[in-house]
Structure 1
Amino acid sequence: MSTVVLESVLTCPHCGHAQQATMRTNACQFFYECGNCKALLRPKPGDCCVFCSFGSVKCPPVQAQPGCCE
């Protein structure tokens, strides 16, 4: 079993601002406000959270799935 990574860098698709954030382990995060342009980020269709759509690392629930992130 691999270690779950809790830190991810979210990159805003509107302005390109990148910011490190800590992911929750008990729930997916559906909304995130960009620290630069204040855009409200939402997951892309088919993704469970903003980290899976815009993060450098997928969220912990997805990381825990067999075969993820290999």
Structure 2
Amino acid sequence: MEIEFKSTITCPECGHKSTNSMPADACQYFYDCEGCRAVLKPMAGDCCVYCSFGDVKCPSIQEGRSC
């Protein structure tokens, strides 16, 4: 399985979409929406904003590891 390092985050506040590179060795806990400036945080049970709001889960989860 090939790990993807790009994910498109969709802001739950305004619907703005942004494609970003995910860090390979860490989880990203905060993300500033470029559309409305809301600070996104992971939903309960998710390790990072990519797992909560991205179309691709973070590399750690893709590999079957926890963050």
TM-score by length of 2: 0.95
TM-score by length of 1: 0.91
The percentage of aligned residue pairs carrying the same residue is: 49
Between the aligned partners of 1:8 and 1:39, the Cα distance in structure 2 is 18
> What residue in structure 2 maps to residue 23 of structure 1?
22
Residue 58 of structure 2 corresponds to residue 32 of structure 1: no
- The 4+ residue runs of structure 1 with deviation greater than 2 A are none
> What residue in structure 1 maps to residue 46 of structure 2?
47
Between the aligned partners of 1:24 and 1:4, the Cα distance in structure 2 is 12
Aligned-partner SS, 1:25: coil
Shift of 1:54: 0.1
Between the aligned partners of 1:17 and 1:42, the Cα distance in structure 2 is 15
Aligned-partner SS, 1:52: helix
Shift of 1:58: 0.1
Aligned residue pair count:
65
Aligned-partner SS, 1:4: coil
Deviation string, structure 1 residues 18-43 (Cα, Å, up to 9, x no partner): 00000000100000000010000000
